[in-house]
Chains A and B, each alone.
Chain A
Amino acid sequence: MSIDMQQFHSVFFEETQEHIHEMERILLGMDVEALDAEDINRIFRAAHSIKGGSAIFGFDGLTGLTHEMESILVLVRNNELSLNKIHTTEFLTTIDLLQTIFNAYQQHESIPDKNIAEQIVKLQELLPKGINSSEDDAGFGFFDLPISSASSTSSTTQTSDDEAFGFFEPLQPTPVKSPSPTPKKASEESAPTATSTSSIRVDTQKIDSLVNLVGELVIADAMLQQLHQTQAHSSENLQQALENVNHNIRLMQDAVMSMRMLPLSFVFNRFPRVVHDIASKLDKQVELVIKGAETEIDKGMIEKIVDPLTHLIRNSVDHGIESAAQRARLNKPVCATVTLKAYQKGNNIHIDVSDDGAGLDTAKILKKAKENGLTDTADLTDTQIWDLILAPGFSTAEKVTDVSGRGVGMDVVRQNIEQLNGRISIDSQPNEGTTFSLSLPLTMAIVEGMKICCAEQTYIIPLTNIIESLRPTQEQLPSVANHPIIHIRDEYLPLISLHDLMAPNALKPHPTQSIIMIIESGKHKFCLHVDSLEGQQQVVIKSLEKNYKAVTGVSAATIMGDGSVGMILDVEQLAHIAKQQQIADNQHG
C-alpha cells in the first residue's frame, strides 16, 4: 500500500513557514538576561515540528539543522546550558539558512548541502563538551512490563529497535493510576487559554470563492437598484426592501474582504532584522520605528509589497543615512532613525518609508539623469527631479555596495507598486531626510473607476490614474494636426484620442464639445480625449483572459449595473500604443 506523500506537502510548507517566522520573531524579541521559559518552549516546539515533519515528508535538508537546534534548546530548558547572545545569533543564522532551504524545496531548486553541513558543525560547537546531540534511534517498541520491578529501569522490547516502534507490555491494562488531580489540572490548564482568540484554518481557495460570490451579489444588487430606478411607480415597501438588501450586501462585502485582510505586521516584522543586519555591515547605528503595523491589507498584496519595501528600507539605510562620523559633524543624533508608517486614508492604504538622513541630492540626480539621457532640461521642479530616480536606466550610487546594488532597483520598485494599482511619491529635505510614500488600494479585486463613454461604448478608467478631467477651450488645443500636444496647466502633454484607438471609424466629437482627461500611469502622463464622463463607480474586476485572450489597451472586464460587460482600460498600454502611432506618423509625415 503506498500513500502519495506529495498531497501533504502544501500543508507542511505552510506550517513550516509559520514556524520559521515564529522562531525568528521570538529570537529577535528575546532578552538573554531575562529569558521567558515559554519562549524557549515555543522555539523548541517549532524546531521540533519542522524536524519531525521534514523527516517524514522527505525534506531532509531541514532535519539536521533543526535537530541541532533542538538539542541545544533541550539543554537550555533543563537549565544545563545558559543561552547567550552567541547562541541567539547562531540561531538566527540557522533560521536564515532554514528559510533558504525551505524556499529551495518549494521552488524545486538545489539544496545548499555544504552550507548545511557547515552550519551543523557550528551549532554542534555550541554544545557543552561531552554532550552529543542524541542519536535518533530508528526504532519503535512495545514495553514488556516485567513482573519484578528490579528490571523496570531497562525496557525490554518485544520487537527489535530496528523496527522503530515498541510496546511496553503484551497490551494488558497497566497498573499505573494517575492521581485524580490530573484531570482537574487539565481543565485548569485550559482556563487561561479560554480567553485567547480562537481561529480556524481556512483554505484560501474557499475564501476566494466567497469573495467572488459576494462580488456577484454586489453586481446583482447594482442591477436591482438600476431596475428599481427605471420603474415609474415604486412601492415604498419595495424601496425599503431594496435599501435593506443593498445595506446588507455592503456589510457582507466588507466582512468578506476583511477575511482576506491581514495586518501589515506580517510584512513589517522582518524589517527590524533587515535594518539591524545592514546597519551592522555598514557600521552605522540605525533604529527602525514602526507605526501602524496593525493596519490591514489584502492578503494577495502582502506578498507583493515585501520586495519593494525591503528595497526602500535598504536604500534608506545604505544611501539615505550618513555615516556616524558625518552625522556627528552635522550635530545629528548618532543613532539614525528609519520610520515605517502605515495608515488607511479613504480607500487606500498608505505606507511611508522615511529616514532622517541627508535627503536627496537634487543636483546630483539631475546631473546623472542628463548623463543617462533621461532629460535634457533643467527646468524641472524638485518633485520632477526626484521622480527621475524611479525611471529605468538611472543610478547615482558611486560605488556598487553589495547591500542594495546600484540603485537600479527603484524602477522595479515602482513597477511592483503599479502592478498593485498603487502609486509611489517622493518628498525630501536636504539634511533632514527623505520620505517615500506608497499608496495602495484596499483590495485588488475591486477598482474605483470613472465610467467614460466613447463611441457609445462604456469604459472604466481607474481613479488612481486620473488627475483631472476638463472641457478644453479652443486655445488649449493643438494647432498642428500631426503632433497632437495639448497645453494644459503649464504643461505640454500628448493628446490621445480613445476614438482612434477603440473605434477609428466612428464619428469623433470635437474636443471642445467633449472631455479631455489628464491621465497618469507609471511612466507616462498624457491627455485622453473621450466623449463624456458617466460617473464614478466601484467595479469588480473580471478576467477577459479566462475565456478569451488579452486585449490591447484593456486590463480587465467588469459587469455594469445593467448586466452588460464593461472594459477597464489599461492606461499604460494606451500611452504605449499612442506613442507607437506617433512614431509611425512621424516617420511618414
Chain B
Amino acid sequence: MTKRILIVDDSPSIRQMVKVTLASADYDVTAAEDGIEALDLCLVNEYDFVLTDQNMPRMDGLTLIKSLRAQPEYEAKPIVMLTTEASDNMKEKGRAAGATGWMVKPFDPDKLLMVAEKVLSK
C-alpha cells in the first residue's frame, strides 16, 4: 500500500523539492504551508509520516508536533522535524514536543529518501 507523507514548510521551493523527490520513490505526498493547514489536513486524512519545518508563520513546527501528538491517530506516527538550528537546544525542544527525530537543513534528496525509508519501513 502506498505510504502517505505530509510535508509542512512555508517555502514553496522546499515543498516542491520534497514532493518531487518523495514522489519519485512512489510515495503519496501532500504539502502544507504552515502548521494550521497541516493540522487541518491531518484531521481529515491519515498520513503515515509527517515531515515539518520549524519556522513557519501562524503555527510553528513544535506547536504542530505537540498538537498532533494529542490526536489518537498520530500518537505513534513518525514525525520528523526539519531544522537549521542543529543546536542541542532545538533538538531538546523537538524531543520534548514529541518528535520522532530530526533532520537538518540543508538536506539533499538522497538523505530525504533515506530518512523516509527508515521511518516507513519499520
Contacts and interface: CB of A to CB of B under 8 A. Distances in A.
Interface in A184-237: 185-186, 189-190, 193, 201
A56 B16 contact: no
A45 B115 contact: no
B84 A155 contact: no
A189 B87 contact: no
A177 B10 CA distance: 26
B105 A56 contact: yes
A175 to B, nearest CB: 9
Interface residues of A, number: 59
A155 B20 contact: no
Q: Could you say which of B57, B94, B106 has the most chain A C-beta atoms within 10 Å of its C-beta?
A: B106
A193 B12 contact: no
Contacts of B39: 183, 186
Given A145-B95, A155-B92, A186-B36, A176 B111 contact: no
A195 to B, nearest CB: 13
A182 B66 contact: yes
A63 B64 CA distance: 27
Contacts, number: 178
A180 B67 CA distance: 9
B55 A176 contact: no
A166 B122 CA distance: 15
A11 interface: yes
Contact of B21 (A3, A14, A143, A165): A3
B24 A1 contact: yes
B84 A140 contact: no
B31 to A, nearest CB: 12
A201 B69 contact: no
A153 B106 contact: no
7 contacts: A45-B10, A56-B107, A56-B108, A142-B118, A169-B100, A176-B96, A183-B71
Interface of B: 10-14, 16-17, 20-21, 24-25, 35-36, 39, 53, 55-59, 63, 66-67, 69-71, 75-76, 78, 80, 84-88, 91-92, 94-111, 113-115, 118-119, 122
Contact of B86 (A137, A169, A186): A137
A166 B102 contact: yes
Nearest to A15: B12
Given A155-B95, A189-B58, A165 B107 contact: yes
Contact of A189 (B12, B59, B99, B106): B59
Contacts of A42: 57
A566 interface: no
B53 to A, nearest CB: 8
B13 A8 contact: yes
Contacts of A14: 12
B70 A180 contact: yes
A497 to B, nearest CB: 57
A7 B69 contact: no
A53 interface: yes
A172 B20 CA distance: 29
A171 interface: yes
Contact of B67 (A137, A155, A172, A186): A186
A176 B98 contact: yes
A139 interface: yes
Given A182-B63, A186-B35, A165 B58 contact: no
A52 B106 contact: yes
B95 A12 contact: no
A134 interface: yes
Nearest to B88: A155
B67 A183 contact: yes
B11 A53 contact: yes
Contacts of A173: 75-76
Contacts of B113: 1
A42 B39 CA distance: 22
B12 A11 contact: yes
